[in-house]
Amino acid sequence: MRQYDDLKRELEQRKASIEERIKEADRYGLAVTSSFSTGELSQYDNHPADTATDLYEREKDIAIYEKLQKELEDVDYALNKMQNGSYGVCEVTGKQIPYDRLQANPTARTVVEHSKGLLANHRPVEEAVLGNFDEYNFDNRDDETEFDAEDAYQSVASFNENSMVFEDSSLDRTGELVGYVEELEAFASTDIYGYQGDDSVDFQRNIHYDQYLNEK
């Protein structure tokens, strides 16, 4: 294994560096609760944006810490293989891993042709939800791509699992009025003081008003 002496020194230096960074986890406050690290006994009087910032920073620190732990595991694994004489041998094919590849990635376990098999082959679960939103593109018109307020409401309502009349009725896409959730919103309005009786409601004689009358 003398041919790998330079790589061994590099791995040992990397291990020492990672272990030092892992010790800094206490400085991130990961060993204590979020309330303790921020000095807040309660989040009740905090603005949601401030709470979200604290949460984001904590999640980022946790992600960095987990990445360091995984990197340390890979380095230890490579050093153990050097010790037992199996370092530099592809775990899939049994072939010798080219030295150039090991220089570029000292923790490599396979030849480059089989390296992709070690990666997680999955897509984020959110894509299954986000991919379905395109079916609401501007009231199913192929010549438009806008996504209006009504479409946004329908997209959310489509995931409702309760068989309630109100929610289910929101998924009726027939005869839609673009940009409005309720039909009356397209032509009925009030002033800044809101509804104060029938006399406070104004009706706009527009295309939505005509369509509403024709349907009735």
User: What would the pLDDT profile of 94-103 be if each residue is shown by its tens digit?
Assistant: 999 999 999 9
In sequence order, what are the residues at sequence separation of 6 or more whose Cβ sits closer than 8 angstroms to the Cβ of residue 68? 18, 21, 22
pLDDT confidence of residue 179: 58
Cα–Cα distance measured from residue 212 to residue 78, given in angstroms and rounded to the nearest whole number: 73
Which band of pLDDT confidence, cut at 50, 70 and 90, is reported for residue 136? Answer: low
Higher-confidence position of 68 and 42:
68
Q: Is the pLDDT of residue 78 over 80?
A: yes
Question: Which of 111-120 are b and which e, b meaning 16 or more Cβ less than 10 Å from the residue's Cβ?
Answer: beeeeeeeee
pLDDT confidence of residue 212: 78
pLDDT confidence of residue 74: 94
Higher-confidence position of 144 and 24:
24
Higher-confidence position of 211 and 139:
211
Question: Which of 166-187 are b and which e, b meaning 16 or more Cβ less than 10 Å from the residue's Cβ?
Answer: eeeebeeeeebbeebbebeebb
Q: Are 1 and 86 in contact, with CB atoms under 8 Å apart?
A: no
Q: What is the CA radius of gyration of the chain?
A: 30
